[in-house]
Amino acid sequence: MNNQSLEFSVAPMMKWTDHHCRYFHRLITKKAFLYSEMISADALVYGPTDRLLFANHFDHKTIIQIGGSNRKNMTRAAYKIQNSGYKEVNLNIGCPSNRVQAGNFGACLMEKPNLVVDCIKSIQDKCDINISVKCRVGTDKMDNKDFFNFIDLISNAGINKFVVHARKAILNGLSPKQNREIPPLNYALVTLLKERYKHLKIILNGGIKSIETGFSHVKKNNLDGFMIGREAYQNPYILIEVDKMFKEKNVPLLRHEIAFSVAEYIDKFCNSFVNEDFKIIRHILGLYNGMPGSKAWRKKLVQKTNYKRMGDKVRFATDEIEKYINMKKVA
């Protein structure tokens, strides 16, 4: 399997992968699929669709993730996503939080596969958009047989792409953070899933810390791709390795070029309200992680300032860290 046939993506992360974050990540990588943070179907149906979807700010590698279990609202949400130009909608069947469970969606739906099938069929009846599913390898109430039964039912409903977090979801007693750390990773089960369902696209998620490790693992185990979450958010410049792995011909942007592009974006997007820029700046704080002066750079970005242009804070802070890095090189 060559790299060109693999799929890499940045995971949907609540309060993190909004449209500002996706703009920033797209500056670093052209080949990655970028997921929205989960949007509830009800919010898309009854809320401000344009603001939630930001339909003027996407490309064909942007995927909207929705959560819900009311088939009418799931269908109406998918229809709005399709009409906004997106090519794929992802169903959240993996989030273990109590809040999501209270809304009867997320990982708890792995225990109710027939309800998921009803939603899928309803969407298929009314929409032409591609549908994928993000799930776990089960819940604390499920064994491997239950997991494969879930995959059977969902794939028989016409779903051929599964993003699988290789941990079980513990629905009682663990916080979402603990659910990302305490349940053991079971990569072997994801590999077995692919062996049993060779016709399905299986994307691995969970515990992957580097692009190189991810590519190596999925190629070794004949998986179809992998997804990275918090590591990509906290150390975003690792995404530069994605396009290298895909042998992308475009010359990658340097850190300061990315920062200056974000500064221009801030100028265009933000109004004159004090610290309105931080809605964007918060996503780039890890850009210089591991570089000399990164702590001082982050400190300057979070300070309250009153520059003439909203993006000047980023420009001045970036000029300073680049001078410091060059000075260190000379020394």
* Rounded Cα–Cα distance for residues 245 and 120 (Å): 34
Only one residue has tokens 């010359």, namely 251
Rounded to an integer, what distance in angstroms lies between the CA atom of residue 322 and that of residue 327?
8
Helical segments of 172-254, H only: 176-179, 187-196, 211-220, 230-234, 240-245
Give the CA diameter of the chain.
66
- Using DSSP, state whether 5 is helix, strand or coil: helix
Q: Hey, CA dihedral for 286, 207, 53, 67, is it positive or negative? A: negative
Count Cβ atoms within 10 A of the Cβ of residue 180 and give its class: 0-12 exposed, 13-18 middle, 19 or more buried: middle
Which among 51, 9, 2, 5 is positioned nearest to 233, based on CA atoms?
9
Active site residue 135: no
| Tokens at 39, concatenated | 């949007």
Strand-pair partners of 205: 165, 227
Q: Hey, how many other C-beta atoms are within 10 angstroms of the C-beta on 62?
A: 20
Which member of 95, 119, 135, 270 is catalytic? Answer: 95
Residues annotated as part of the active site: 95
